[in-house]
Protein backbone atom coordinates (compact mmCIF):
# COMPACT_ATOMS: atom_id res chain seq x y z
CA UNK A 1 0.00 0.00 0.00
CA UNK A 2 1.76 3.16 -1.12
CA UNK A 3 1.28 6.17 1.12
CA UNK A 4 2.69 9.67 1.07
CA UNK A 5 3.84 11.33 4.25
CA UNK A 6 4.66 14.99 4.87
CA UNK A 7 6.27 16.77 7.81
CA UNK A 8 5.87 20.48 8.51
CA UNK A 9 6.73 22.83 11.34
CA UNK A 10 3.58 24.93 11.07
CA UNK A 11 4.46 27.55 13.74
CA UNK A 12 0.90 27.66 15.17
CA UNK A 13 -1.75 25.35 13.78
CA UNK A 14 -4.54 27.73 14.76
CA UNK A 15 -2.93 30.79 13.21
CA UNK A 16 -2.12 28.86 10.04
CA UNK A 17 -5.18 26.62 9.83
CA UNK A 18 -5.88 27.85 6.29
CA UNK A 19 -2.35 26.94 5.17
CA UNK A 20 -2.73 23.41 6.52
CA UNK A 21 -6.02 23.11 4.65
CA UNK A 22 -4.35 24.45 1.49
CA UNK A 23 -1.63 21.82 1.75
CA UNK A 24 -4.10 19.02 2.41
CA UNK A 25 -6.27 20.13 -0.52
CA UNK A 26 -3.50 20.67 -3.06
CA UNK A 27 -0.96 18.00 -2.09
CA UNK A 28 -3.20 15.40 -0.42
CA UNK A 29 -0.59 13.51 1.65
CA UNK A 30 -2.00 10.45 3.36
CA UNK A 31 -0.28 11.45 6.60
CA UNK A 32 0.75 14.94 7.72
CA UNK A 33 2.99 15.40 10.76
CA UNK A 34 2.95 18.89 12.25
CA UNK A 35 5.33 20.42 14.77
CA UNK A 36 5.22 23.60 16.84
CA UNK A 37 1.42 23.49 16.87
CA UNK A 38 1.34 25.88 19.87
CA UNK A 39 -2.05 24.60 20.95
CA UNK A 40 -3.68 22.29 23.47
CA UNK A 41 -5.00 19.24 21.66
CA UNK A 42 -8.63 20.18 22.29
CA UNK A 43 -8.10 23.56 20.61
CA UNK A 44 -6.61 22.20 17.36
CA UNK A 45 -9.08 23.19 14.60
CA UNK A 46 -9.89 19.68 13.44
CA UNK A 47 -13.23 20.34 11.72
CA UNK A 48 -11.66 21.72 8.55
CA UNK A 49 -9.10 18.93 8.40
CA UNK A 50 -11.76 16.26 8.93
CA UNK A 51 -13.87 17.79 6.16
CA UNK A 52 -10.92 17.12 3.82
CA UNK A 53 -10.80 13.46 4.79
CA UNK A 54 -8.31 13.58 7.66
CA UNK A 55 -10.46 11.85 10.25
CA UNK A 56 -7.64 10.41 12.35
CA UNK A 57 -5.42 12.43 14.69
CA UNK A 58 -2.84 11.60 17.30
CA UNK A 59 -1.42 14.64 19.07
CA UNK A 60 0.25 16.09 22.12
CA UNK A 61 -0.14 19.77 22.87
CA UNK A 62 0.39 22.61 25.28
CA UNK A 63 -0.71 26.21 25.37
CA UNK A 64 1.42 28.58 23.31
CA UNK A 65 4.49 26.38 22.81
CA UNK A 66 5.75 23.20 21.16
CA UNK A 67 3.08 20.64 20.26
CA UNK A 68 3.09 17.78 17.74
CA UNK A 69 0.23 16.28 15.75
CA UNK A 70 -0.24 13.50 13.20
CA UNK A 71 -3.19 13.95 10.85
CA UNK A 72 -4.10 10.97 8.72
CA UNK A 73 -6.54 9.77 6.09
CA UNK A 74 -5.53 6.27 7.09
CA UNK A 75 -6.49 4.71 10.42
CA UNK A 76 -3.79 5.20 13.05
CA UNK A 77 -3.32 3.99 16.59
CA UNK A 78 -1.80 6.17 19.31
CA UNK A 79 1.30 4.37 20.57
CA UNK A 80 2.53 6.95 23.02
CA UNK A 81 5.10 9.64 23.55
CA UNK A 82 8.32 10.22 25.44
CA UNK A 83 9.50 13.22 27.42
CA UNK A 84 13.17 13.31 26.49
CA UNK A 85 15.45 15.30 28.83
CA UNK A 86 12.50 15.61 31.25
CA UNK A 87 11.54 19.00 29.81
CA UNK A 88 7.82 18.49 30.24
CA UNK A 89 7.32 19.62 26.63
CA UNK A 90 5.00 18.22 23.95
CA UNK A 91 7.79 17.33 21.53
CA UNK A 92 7.16 13.71 20.53
CA UNK A 93 4.23 11.53 19.62
CA UNK A 94 4.01 8.20 17.80
CA UNK A 95 1.28 6.49 15.82
CA UNK A 96 1.01 3.11 14.13
CA UNK A 97 -0.58 2.56 10.73
CA UNK A 98 -2.61 -0.56 9.99
CA UNK A 99 0.30 -1.92 7.93
CA UNK A 100 2.40 -2.00 11.11
CA UNK A 101 4.55 1.02 10.36
CA UNK A 102 5.18 3.28 13.35
CA UNK A 103 5.52 7.00 12.64
CA UNK A 104 7.49 9.06 15.15
CA UNK A 105 6.88 12.81 15.01
CA UNK A 106 9.61 14.88 16.71
CA UNK A 107 10.21 18.52 17.51
CA UNK A 108 13.77 18.71 18.84
CA UNK A 109 14.58 21.84 20.89
CA UNK A 110 16.07 24.67 18.86
CA UNK A 111 18.83 25.30 21.39
CA UNK A 112 18.86 29.09 21.72
CA UNK A 113 21.45 31.36 20.17
CA UNK A 114 24.77 30.53 21.88
CA UNK A 115 26.30 27.09 21.16
CA UNK A 116 27.73 26.64 24.66
CA UNK A 117 25.88 24.69 27.32
CA UNK A 118 27.91 26.40 30.05
CA UNK A 119 26.20 29.72 29.37
CA UNK A 120 23.07 28.65 27.48
CA UNK A 121 20.67 26.29 29.26
CA UNK A 122 18.66 25.70 26.07
CA UNK A 123 21.70 24.44 24.19
CA UNK A 124 22.41 21.93 26.95
CA UNK A 125 18.79 20.80 26.85
CA UNK A 126 19.04 20.23 23.11
CA UNK A 127 22.13 18.06 23.49
CA UNK A 128 20.54 16.14 26.37
CA UNK A 129 17.40 15.58 24.30
CA UNK A 130 19.43 14.10 21.46
CA UNK A 131 21.46 11.95 23.86
CA UNK A 132 18.30 10.46 25.33
CA UNK A 133 16.90 9.81 21.83
CA UNK A 134 20.17 8.03 21.03
CA UNK A 135 20.03 5.92 24.18
CA UNK A 136 16.40 4.98 23.52
CA UNK A 137 17.22 3.78 20.02
CA UNK A 138 20.17 1.80 21.36
CA UNK A 139 17.99 0.16 23.99
CA UNK A 140 14.86 -0.42 21.90
CA UNK A 141 16.17 -0.78 18.38
CA UNK A 142 13.44 0.51 16.07
CA UNK A 143 11.98 -1.62 13.29
CA UNK A 144 9.46 -0.85 10.56
CA UNK A 145 9.45 2.78 11.59
CA UNK A 146 9.59 6.26 10.10
CA UNK A 147 10.94 9.23 12.04
CA UNK A 148 10.04 12.72 10.88
CA UNK A 149 10.03 16.23 12.18
CA UNK A 150 11.83 19.44 12.86
CA UNK A 151 15.10 18.12 14.26
CA UNK A 152 16.57 21.64 14.30
CA UNK A 153 19.91 20.51 12.90
CA UNK A 154 21.20 20.78 9.34
CA UNK A 155 23.81 18.01 9.34
CA UNK A 156 25.50 18.18 5.93
CA UNK A 157 27.61 20.94 4.44
CA UNK A 158 25.10 21.27 1.61
CA UNK A 159 22.21 21.46 4.08
CA UNK A 160 23.11 25.09 4.79
CA UNK A 161 23.69 28.09 2.58
CA UNK A 162 27.32 28.57 3.72
CA UNK A 163 29.03 25.81 5.66
CA UNK A 164 31.99 27.86 6.92
CA UNK A 165 29.85 30.80 8.06
CA UNK A 166 27.44 28.45 9.84
CA UNK A 167 29.96 26.43 11.84
CA UNK A 168 29.43 28.56 14.95
CA UNK A 169 25.70 29.04 14.43
CA UNK A 170 23.29 26.87 16.43
CA UNK A 171 21.83 24.17 14.12
CA UNK A 172 25.07 23.46 12.24
CA UNK A 173 27.79 23.38 14.90
CA UNK A 174 30.02 20.30 14.93
CA UNK A 175 28.80 19.20 18.36
CA UNK A 176 25.17 19.23 17.20
CA UNK A 177 25.94 17.47 13.94
CA UNK A 178 27.86 14.82 15.86
CA UNK A 179 24.99 14.38 18.33
CA UNK A 180 22.43 14.01 15.55
CA UNK A 181 24.68 11.54 13.74
CA UNK A 182 25.01 9.43 16.87
CA UNK A 183 21.23 9.46 17.30
CA UNK A 184 20.72 8.44 13.68
CA UNK A 185 23.33 5.67 13.90
CA UNK A 186 21.84 4.30 17.13
CA UNK A 187 18.62 3.44 15.32
CA UNK A 188 20.22 2.66 12.00
CA UNK A 189 18.02 5.37 10.54
CA UNK A 190 18.30 6.13 6.82
CA UNK A 191 17.91 9.75 5.72
CA UNK A 192 15.25 9.23 3.05
CA UNK A 193 15.43 12.78 1.72
CA UNK A 194 19.14 12.52 1.01
CA UNK A 195 18.78 8.95 -0.26
CA UNK A 196 16.52 10.36 -2.94
CA UNK A 197 18.26 13.72 -3.38
CA UNK A 198 21.91 12.95 -2.65
CA UNK A 199 23.53 15.98 -4.26
CA UNK A 200 23.24 19.73 -3.97
CA UNK A 201 22.02 22.43 -1.62
CA UNK A 202 18.71 21.54 0.00
CA UNK A 203 16.78 23.64 2.52
CA UNK A 204 13.50 23.44 4.42
CA UNK A 205 13.78 26.62 6.55
CA UNK A 206 14.38 30.27 5.74
CA UNK A 207 14.49 32.97 8.42
CA UNK A 208 11.70 35.51 8.80
CA UNK A 209 14.47 38.09 9.23
CA UNK A 210 15.39 38.04 5.55
CA UNK A 211 13.64 40.83 3.63
CA UNK A 212 13.51 38.63 0.55
CA UNK A 213 14.01 35.07 1.73
CA UNK A 214 13.67 33.65 -1.76
CA UNK A 215 16.30 35.84 -3.38
CA UNK A 216 18.70 35.67 -0.42
CA UNK A 217 18.17 31.89 -0.16
CA UNK A 218 20.06 31.59 3.12
CA UNK A 219 18.36 28.38 4.07
CA UNK A 220 18.93 25.32 6.25
CA UNK A 221 17.59 21.76 6.05
CA UNK A 222 16.19 21.38 9.55
CA UNK A 223 13.26 19.10 8.73
CA UNK A 224 13.87 15.42 8.11
CA UNK A 225 12.35 12.12 7.05
CA UNK A 226 14.17 9.01 8.25
CA UNK A 227 13.27 5.31 8.03
CA UNK A 228 14.60 2.12 9.53
CA UNK A 229 16.72 -0.06 7.22
CA UNK A 230 14.03 -2.72 6.87
CA UNK A 231 11.73 -0.29 5.03
CA UNK A 232 14.15 2.38 3.76
CA UNK A 233 14.22 0.94 0.24
CA UNK A 234 10.46 1.44 0.05
CA UNK A 235 10.90 5.21 0.41
CA UNK A 236 11.04 7.40 -2.68
CA UNK A 237 9.84 10.61 -4.38
CA UNK A 238 11.23 12.92 -1.72
CA UNK A 239 10.70 16.63 -2.20
CA UNK A 240 10.52 19.90 -0.32
CA UNK A 241 7.58 22.17 -1.12
CA UNK A 242 9.57 25.39 -1.21
CA UNK A 243 6.58 27.31 -2.59
CA UNK A 244 4.80 26.99 0.78
CA UNK A 245 7.39 29.31 2.33
CA UNK A 246 6.01 32.01 0.05
CA UNK A 247 2.33 31.55 0.94
CA UNK A 248 0.56 34.38 2.74
CA UNK A 249 1.60 34.64 6.41
CA UNK A 250 3.70 31.50 6.07
CA UNK A 251 5.57 29.32 8.47
CA UNK A 252 9.32 29.80 8.18
CA UNK A 253 9.52 26.07 7.38
CA UNK A 254 8.50 24.30 4.19
CA UNK A 255 6.86 20.84 4.15
CA UNK A 256 9.03 17.82 3.35
CA UNK A 257 7.45 14.85 1.53
CA UNK A 258 8.26 11.20 0.90
CA UNK A 259 6.29 8.25 -0.44
CA UNK A 260 6.58 4.69 0.87
CA UNK A 261 5.47 1.58 -0.97
CA UNK A 262 4.51 -0.64 1.93
Could you give the CA distance from residue 149 to residue 224 in angstroms, rounded to a whole number?
Answer: 6
pLDDT in tens, 42-68: 999 999 999 999 999 999 999 999 999
With CA atoms as reference, report the closest residue to 192 among 223, 218, 153, 162: 223
Distance between CA atoms of residues 150 and 189, nearest Å? 16
What integer pLDDT is reported at residue 142 of this predicted model? 97
Q: Helix, strand, or coil here: 97? A: strand
Per-residue confidence (pLDDT) for residue 28, from 0 to 100: 98
Position 1 scores a pLDDT of 80
Residue 70 and residue 93 in contact, taking contact as beta carbons nearer than 8 Å: yes
Q: Could you say which residues of the chain have pLDDT below 70? A: none
Amino acid sequence: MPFTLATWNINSVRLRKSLVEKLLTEEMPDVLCLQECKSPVDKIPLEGFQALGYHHIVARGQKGYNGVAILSKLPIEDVGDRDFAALGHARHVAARLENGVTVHNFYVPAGGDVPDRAVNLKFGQKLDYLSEMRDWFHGEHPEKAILVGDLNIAPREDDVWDHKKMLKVVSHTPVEVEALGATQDAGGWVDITRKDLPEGQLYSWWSYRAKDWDAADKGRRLDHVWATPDIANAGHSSRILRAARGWEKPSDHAPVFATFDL
